[in-house]
Structure 1
Amino acid sequence: MTGKQTAMRGLLIDLDGTLYHGTHRIDGADVLISYLRQSKFPFRFVTNNSSSTPEEVAERLLKMGIPAAAEEVCTSAQAAAEHIAGLKPGAAVFVVGENGLRKAVQESGLLLTEDQPDFVLQGIDRSFTYERLTKAIRYIHRGAQFILTNPDLLLPSGDGLIPGAGSIGAMLKAAGGKEPVLIGKPSSILMNYSLREIGLKADETWVVGDNMATDIAFGEAAGCGTILVLTGLTTAQNIDYYMEQAGCKPNIVCENLEELRSYISDHREI
């Protein structure tokens, strides 16, 4: 481990690649989260995934033996809906996305619409069609604001990589001619939402994740401490490459989740 030490009073923890791979729990994930809960140390699960509701995310974690509750989950869908509601309460929103995104829109008092929207809100959509693409770009050309939940181009699945929200977003950007407002990591919008949820300031909070370009860049840009775990995308073999690509470095590197738990135990502040 290496890096500077700052106040550690709470954690924002990534999910896929950090606590699990697909549907398989990473060794030590259950022990880590149980430790945080038992010691009453504040944390939130923070995910770029907009397809699931917080309840669905928590249920998925529970099925893998990782303690979780919906109120501990912060998604890009929630942050996106709150952002739009802050810009225009009750706005009409055309959603390119799945259940988690649609539900977040409704719960924020926004109107789901298929006609004349104020905003085009796009996340991952595994039922995406050419017809939906056509509608979205026409609305963007007519003046609807384009909001993108997250920039992830590719996602892991049980049988290989699949296109992420960023891949659909690239089509909408190219055809719509507008740069989207980005919500998820490494954007400050999801960070600010997560900090409000956990009730801490950036310099009291550490970000934990396996991805330099999203998790670590996310934390560094906000002024949080950052801990890279070598449990997913980044490994001991490729860490130098990903640090160079991301243009940033983590404060701390942990090889596994037991090493992470030990570091938190030694450095947390009450």
Structure 2
Amino acid sequence: MTPARPVETWLTDMDGVLVHEEDPIPGAAEFVAALRSSGRPFLVLTNNSIFTPRDLRARLGRSGIDVPEESIWTSALATADFLAEQRPGGSAFAVGEAGLTTALHDIGYVLTDRDPDYVVLGETRTYSFEAITTAIRLIEAGARFIATNPDPSGPSAQGTLPATGSVAALISTATRRRPYFVGKPNPLMMRSALNRLEAHSETTVMVGDRMDTDIVSGLEAGLRTVLVLSGSTGAAEVEQFPYRPTRVLDSVADLVPLVERLADGDDVEG
């Protein structure tokens, strides 16, 4: 028997775990409140690169969920963090919205369409044919191709929307160059979140609703994982995957009574 590992840090996905679009998932507000009162560091992770953490804080607040701005980590921030390490003070042609451009500006990057070091593709609700054409030509001229996340589609009140992965596929088909995806399921996003909190994988738990992004990236980053069935992956689908989460729960409402217990030294596997 291995001794129980304390839980010092929490990472949690947002869509499908805390909210469905603008609608809060029952228990989400209580879960975040429990995390905050426990004093343990935590981050809310999202592959959404459209919004800044300030925007997302306001969105969650309208749903009755109080998450500090500094506790939100987006694929745009993870991408900027990656680029700052790879090529400090570089330049990029960005296809995306404020969440991406603000993150790139904050690391000192110059946004330009003149011989940039990178083409960085993020999510937007208004993809421009002109911007995509410019991205293709810059990649053909030698710019390195980065995308914030590989999600092929996203939800909206009207139905499915094409997302970053779909547009990346279009650009890849035209250029024969595949991007490097930073966001989930790349465990790099988990590691960047851990670095932001100065946390260790051995004492961190990842909560997510998708086996093929949240759970696999947490697993590959060395975290214990909790799958909640309030989002994309249903109970019947779990056994189809060659890996398993540490725990499967109906929703984060089931985690509320566990937060203090786990923080006191119990193991999430118990």
Does TM, normalized by the shorter one, top 0.5? Answer: yes
Q: Which residue of 2 aligns with 1:225?
A: 224
Q: Which residue of 2 aligns with 1:92?
A: 91
8 A contact 1:9–1:269 mirrored in 2: no
- Is the counterpart of residue 251 in structure 1 residue 251 in structure 2? no
Q: Which residue of 2 aligns with 1:79?
A: 78
Counterpart amino acid of residue 256 in structure 1: S
Q: How far apart, in 1, do the equivalents of 2:14 and 2:127 lie? A: 25
The offset of 1:69, in angstroms, is 1.2
Alpha carbons of structure 1 residues 5 and 181: separation in structure 2 relative to 1, 3 Å: farther
- Match of 1:11, SS state, is strand
Q: Deviations over 1:26-54 (max 9, x none)?
A: 00000111111112122100111111001
Q: How far apart, in 2, do the equivalents of 1:150 and 1:106 lie? A: 19
- Is the counterpart of residue 165 in structure 1 residue 160 in structure 2? no
Q: How far apart, in 2, do the equivalents of 1:42 and 1:88 lie? A: 29
Q: Which residue of 1 aligns with 2:268?
A: none
Alpha carbons of structure 1 residues 169 and 269: separation in structure 2 relative to 1, 3 Å: farther
Counterpart amino acid of residue 204 in structure 2: T
8 A contact 2:238–2:244 mirrored in 1: no
Q: How far apart, in 1, do the equivalents of 2:146 and 2:128 lie? A: 19
Q: Which residue of 2 aligns with 1:212?
A: 211
Q: How far apart, in 1, do the equivalents of 2:37 and 2:222 lie? A: 27
Q: How far apart, in 1, do the equivalents of 2:155 and 2:260 lie? A: 31
Q: How far apart, in 2, do the equivalents of 1:69 and 1:29 lie? A: 15
Q: How far apart, in 2, do the equivalents of 1:192 and 1:256 lie? A: 25
The offset of 1:269, in angstroms, is 4.3
- Is the counterpart of residue 236 in structure 1 residue 235 in structure 2? yes
- Is the counterpart of residue 262 in structure 1 residue 257 in structure 2? yes
TM-score (norm. length: structure 1): 0.93
Counterpart amino acid of residue 243 in structure 2: C
The offset of 1:126, in angstroms, is 1.7
- Match of 2:133, SS state, is helix
Q: Structure 2 stretches of 5 or more lacking a match?
A: 266-270
8 A contact 1:13–1:44 mirrored in 2: yes
Alpha carbons of structure 1 residues 269 and 142: separation in structure 2 relative to 1, 3 Å: farther
Q: How many residues align?
A: 263
Counterpart amino acid of residue 192 in structure 1: R
Q: How far apart, in 2, do the equivalents of 1:40 and 1:222 lie? A: 23
Q: Which moved more, 1:142-151 or 1:179-188?
A: 179-188
Q: Which residue of 1 aligns with 2:100?
A: 101
8 A contact 1:6–1:225 mirrored in 2: no
5 Å-filtered alignment, 1:146-185, equals 146-185=145-184
RMSD: 1.5
The offset of 1:128, in angstroms, is 1.0
Q: How far apart, in 1, do the equivalents of 2:44 and 2:7 lie? A: 16
Q: How far apart, in 1, do the equivalents of 2:124 and 2:171 lie? A: 13
8 A contact 2:205–2:224 mirrored in 1: yes
Of all paired residues, the percent bearing the same amino acid is 37
8 A contact 1:209–1:215 mirrored in 2: yes
- Match of 1:157, SS state, is coil
Q: Which residue of 2 aligns with 1:187?
A: 186
The offset of 1:6, in angstroms, is 4.2
Counterpart amino acid of residue 77 in structure 2: Q
Q: How far apart, in 1, do the equivalents of 2:137 and 2:11 lie? A: 37
8 A contact 1:13–1:45 mirrored in 2: yes
Q: Structure 1 stretches of 5 or more lacking a match?
A: none
Q: Which residue of 2 aligns with 1:125?
A: 124
8 A contact 2:155–2:161 mirrored in 1: yes
